[in-house]
Amino acid sequence: MTCDQTQVQVGQKINCDDIVSTADQGIPSGSVTWTSSGGGTFSKQTCDASKNGQVDCKAQYTPSASGTQTLTATYGGDAYHAPSSGKFTVFVGKMTNSGATSTSVTCDDSYVQVGQHTTCHATVTSADGKTPGGSVSWTADASGSFSHIQCGGAHGDSQDNNGNLSCQADYTTNAPGHHVITAAYSGDGTHTASSGTFDVFAQNKSDLSQQAAIALPAGALLAVGLSVVVLDAKERSKKQSSA
């Protein structure tokens, strides 16, 4: 049994390979059971028979705690082949500050009408330069709803051109006033949690109409004032001509 790394951090995946071979010409049947002394998890387990009569089993291991861990691949045997096992030792270190993240939030609109939606964007960057895994959760401190929540583009790629985790959501306001939008990144095995906020102000449509109505007389008065000035100039011109 072998794995592709001997030293990893908590939450960092490693790939392990175990080959079951036999002294006779037959191919062992069955599969391999993977265990760890450190309490991590195995995934993507496969077993394939090779052309030379061996069975090649693979698995991906994610450690959940630090320390020296022994990984074991155990073949249970079949009617013609005896059980066997292989072991591999890996050292798992704690997550360092290099995995610290920061989350920034922007929305397409700072001012909206009640009932109007705006698209908000969250960008999670990491100090280690690696793309943080996972996604973000969206909340607001006022009445509203989120929809079309996604991380990444149409092809499921969760990172932007700079290698950051990129997520977005549409937010619809249900009440007037300030709406503080929060995007919270929960972290992964190698990156810490972080969050960011953005303030959206929502106003009733009736309030906007009232403001427009209030603004109209001022414009009308300005137009009337200009007309008075023009008429007064014409009267003065007539009097000068008569003189």
Question: What are residue 173's DSSP bridge partners?
Answer: 144
In a shared domain, residues 153 and 108? yes
- The CA–CA distances, whole Å, from 138 to 19, 141, 232 equal 46, 11, 63
Q: Mean pLDDT in the chain? A: 81
In a shared domain, residues 144 and 50? no
In a shared domain, residues 119 and 182? yes
- How many other CB atoms sit within 10 Å of the CB of residue 183? 26
Domain containing residue 186: 98-205
pLDDT band at 127 (very low <50, low <70, confident <90, very high): confident
pLDDT at position 205, please? 78
> Does 148 fall in a domain?
yes
Distance CA 10, CA 188 (A): 10
pLDDT of 183 above 60: yes
In a shared domain, residues 131 and 56? no
- The CA–CA distances, whole Å, from 91 to 9, 40, 69, 86, 162 equal 8, 13, 6, 17, 31
pLDDT band at 214 (very low <50, low <70, confident <90, very high): very low
Counted domains in the chain: 2
Of 63-67, 150-154, 191-195, 232-236, which range is least confident?
232-236
pLDDT band at 186 (very low <50, low <70, confident <90, very high): confident
Question: Which pTM does this prediction carry?
Answer: 0.50
pLDDT of 111 above 80: yes
pLDDT at position 222, please? 44
CA count, 13 A, side-chain hemisphere, 234: 6
In a shared domain, residues 158 and 73? no
Question: What are residue 20's DSSP bridge partners?
Answer: 55
Closest CA to 198 of 130, 125, 138: 138
> Does 167 fall in a domain?
yes
Q: What's the average model confidence in pLDDT over 197-201?
A: 95
pLDDT at position 193, please? 87
Distance CA 243, CA 44 (A): 105
In a shared domain, residues 103 and 144? yes
Question: What are residue 206's DSSP bridge partners?
Answer: none
In a shared domain, residues 87 and 149? no
162 vs 198 pLDDT, higher one: 198
pLDDT of 192 above 50: yes
Of 55, 73, 93, the last residue of a domain is 93
> Does 11 fall in a domain?
yes
**What's the pLDDT tens digit per position in 3-38?**
998 888 888 889 999 988 887 777 888 789 999 998
Closest CA to 11 of 84, 101, 92: 92
Token pair 């705690």 is found at 65
pLDDT at position 123, please? 94
Token pair 């949690």 is found at 193
Backbone CA torsion sign across 103, 107, 108, 111: negative
> Does 41 fall in a domain?
yes
Of 60, 93, 126, the last residue of a domain is 93
In a shared domain, residues 38 and 68? yes
Distance CA 141, CA 210 (A): 27
In a shared domain, residues 60 and 105? no
In a shared domain, residues 179 and 106? yes
> Does 228 fall in a domain?
no
Of 93, 124, 144, the last residue of a domain is 93
* Residue 124 belongs to domain with CATH number: 2.60.40.10
In a shared domain, residues 200 and 104? yes
> Does 241 fall in a domain?
no
In a shared domain, residues 133 and 71? no
> Does 183 fall in a domain?
yes
> Does 223 fall in a domain?
no
